[in-house]
Amino acid sequence: MEIKVINTSNHPLPKYQTVGSSGLDVFAFLDNSIELKPLERVLVPTGLFLEIPEGFEIQIRPRSGLALKHGITLLNTPATIDSDYRGEIKVLLINLGQENFIIENGMRIAQFVVSKIEKIQWIETSKIEITERNQNGFGHTGK
């Protein structure tokens, strides 16, 4: 699959770090470092503008290492970049850790995952099929 990209940053394009990676690491594009205090959130620019083909989206997901080591994650995860969006891609980070965290220019801050989208058509009805689980929700399977 090909996706058109304008890269206004001085960083490489997002890339897969291993052969088996499903996400492409994305870099922060900053004039100055950002100090993110505990429970603060910030919108971090990437300098990337994309033309995503219709029928696809890009999901922005956290990087596991930042989450584990520092408590840095995405506030709206996964974030969705729709195929008709043409603005700069920005990443909404939050610090759930207990210490300040410095975001530097060029730091890998998130991952892009390309996903195919299926459009649905609603069928209004007065009855839906009953299953074994049925209405059992949160915590219904036990510990």
What are the φ and ψ backbone dihedral angles of 123, each rounded to 5 degrees? -120, 105
Structure tokens at 43: 């919108």
Predicted structure pTM score: 0.88
Pick the CATH number of 4-116 from 1.20.1440.120, 2.70.40.10, 3.40.50.11540, 3.20.170.30: 2.70.40.10
End-to-end CA distance of the chain: 42
Q: Is 65 helix (H, G, I), strand (E, B) or coil?
A: helix
What are the beta bridge partners of residue 34? 103
pLDDT at residue 140, rounded to an integer: 64
Please give the distance of CA 129 from its chain centroid, rounded to a whole number: 34
Tokens 């995860």 correspond to what residue? 77
Rounded Cα distance between 101 and 120, Å, is 41
pLDDT at residue 112, rounded to an integer: 98
**Residue spans per domain, the chain:** 4-116
pLDDT at residue 132, rounded to an integer: 81
pLDDT at residue 7, rounded to an integer: 98
Rounded mean pLDDT for each run of 10 residues along the chain, 143 residues in total: 97 96 97 98 98 98 96 95 98 98 98 96 94 77 69
What are the beta bridge partners of residue 62? none
